[in-house]
Structure 1
């Protein structure tokens, strides 16, 4: 099965180089790589200077430039559009480092024939799991990472995850041609955060099925391009604002009646997260995101400006 590996970059050529180096070690060899640079002309030029035209195993590396920065979803959509002949697409964060057998494990699960998209185990450098699948909780406007903080080398039963998961984390998700044809592209009006949750929620409503491959392990240095992994009182505005905004937009788009509980829950959980730690600026960023969702503001936030 021929796979197109889709990576969205934004002024981070070093991450791309390290990710490509990890891809060279994959057991599955029938793939190509498409990297969409969402940064400006200087970012694209910097990427061209360090990214090879092909990997050591002969797999081609195609660079695509989206200078208007259409967001993560827009970058993914452009990668898919640039490789429509693929049998499947593996959406991969630039700060992801797949284990050699990861893609093989994902494809083994996909080719069992009863699912249309597959996720694996995302894990931190500490060896603890970030997520082995995700569960969307619309009444709280929150996502739950299944398997979180378990040792990655501790066995996880596939059916236990698949029976609860409602989305696959966008840091590493393998989608089939049927998934893309039925669900359509990622929604670009989310710009950043929750776009993969919405994609999966929409796909499941259309009758598509999600799977989990426990042996597909992907090291993830979460938040390298957005700063979301920083100390809580140092976290920048963008990831907090977008995360809170888009969770409520997802409720609004997929189950509007749940806004009655989701809105107060989102505010309460935000206060409980930041207020006890004195992260008042971060609390303000989150509240601004919630207000933007109530106004149905979408796409790139105005604070980023047209050039970002």
Structure 2
């Protein structure tokens, strides 16, 4: 089996992270080393994590600030490549629990297809189908999950289980940190495909995911928290312009999103979304006002 290094980013959810690591211990293929990045780390969280021992080697990276998902993943990728230069990087959400054969089946699919990025089949904790890949509307740049594993020609792999080949990392580089949270995996998939890499979906690699447990992103329509809702729309627009989607479709999609917030009486979200979409400086202030750390790139 090739060398593989799982990378987990934790933000104030240590129990879920430990549960994920315990699930990895049962894997039929053991990781060579796991890299855990603890965002907004505290003395208490560090002591909590270090009170456990695990069956594999773990490298802990402690960040005083909440640097976001992409920046945390990039720290893990850099660290893994220093120690294992030709390893696969497996970005794995910390609120997931991989089934015992998940990593084995994921690697099998990646190797047999020679894909640059390979995803797993994501199920909710109760076993309900959730996806693992996604589709992007060619004009509006809106996204959707598949209805079943029968759907093909997907546009991106979800970041909850995101295996990157060493060749893809070498040519495509790291994740964009422009987003802080959400759409960085879609952006990376677009970049990888422009570099000649393909995407694969290992539907026999099953990951149980407590989706949205950290952010509330999966709440019913209208119930998504203010910060998450605003950042998701901003990032969708940023992603669409960056990757060459038609301007009219992007603006139409933005208008529909804003109209829905008005319909739901979420009036304060409209000017916030417009401000952080139009200005990176205001996006930075928005992130930092909500407890994050962001560098303008």
TM-score range, shorter chain: 0.7 to 0.9
2:26 — aligned with what?
25
Deviation at 1:126, TM superposition (A): 3.5
Unmatched runs of 5 consecutive residues or more in structure 1: 151-155
Task: Note closer, same or farther for the CA distance 1:242–1:167 as it changes in structure 2 (3 Å cut).
Answer: same
Unmatched runs of 5 consecutive residues or more in structure 2: 293-297
Equivalent pairs counted in the alignment come to 288
1:153 — aligned with what?
none
For the 8 Å contact 1:73–1:186, the answer to whether it is kept is yes
Q: How does 1:1-308 map to 2 (within 5 A)?
A: 1-42=2-43, 45-51=44-50, 54-56=53-55, 59-84=56-81, 85=84, 87-147=87-147, 150=148, 156-157=149-150, 160-161=151-152, 164-255=153-244, 258-269=246-257, 271-272=259-260, 279-281=264-266, 284-285=268-269, 288-296=272-280, 300-302=284-286, 304-305=288-289, 308=292
Task: Note closer, same or farther for the CA distance 1:27–1:299 as it changes in structure 2 (3 Å cut).
Answer: farther
SS at match of 1:97: strand
For the 8 Å contact 2:276–2:286, the answer to whether it is kept is no
For the 8 Å contact 2:12–2:40, the answer to whether it is kept is yes
TM-score, normalised to structure 1, is 0.85
In structure 1, distance between residues paired with 2:199 and 2:182:
20
For the 8 Å contact 2:88–2:166, the answer to whether it is kept is yes
For residues 44-97 of structure 1, the C-alpha deviation after alignment (integer angstroms, 9 at most, x for no partner) is: x414423567523xx111110122322100000001111111510110111111
SS at match of 2:126: coil
2:295 — aligned with what?
none
Task: Note closer, same or farther for the CA distance 1:251–1:296 as it changes in structure 2 (3 Å cut).
Answer: farther
Deviation at 1:227, TM superposition (A): 2.0
SS at match of 2:125: coil
For the 8 Å contact 1:179–1:203, the answer to whether it is kept is yes
For residues 107-137 of structure 1, the C-alpha deviation after alignment (integer angstroms, 9 at most, x for no partner) is: 0011115311101111112322221411222
Task: Note closer, same or farther for the CA distance 1:243–1:67 as it changes in structure 2 (3 Å cut).
Answer: same
For the 8 Å contact 2:275–2:283, the answer to whether it is kept is no
SS at match of 2:33: strand
For the 8 Å contact 2:119–2:162, the answer to whether it is kept is yes
Task: Note closer, same or farther for the CA distance 1:109–1:196 as it changes in structure 2 (3 Å cut).
Answer: same
In structure 2, distance between residues paired with 1:120 and 1:66:
28
In structure 2, distance between residues paired with 1:205 and 1:144:
21
SS at match of 2:175: coil
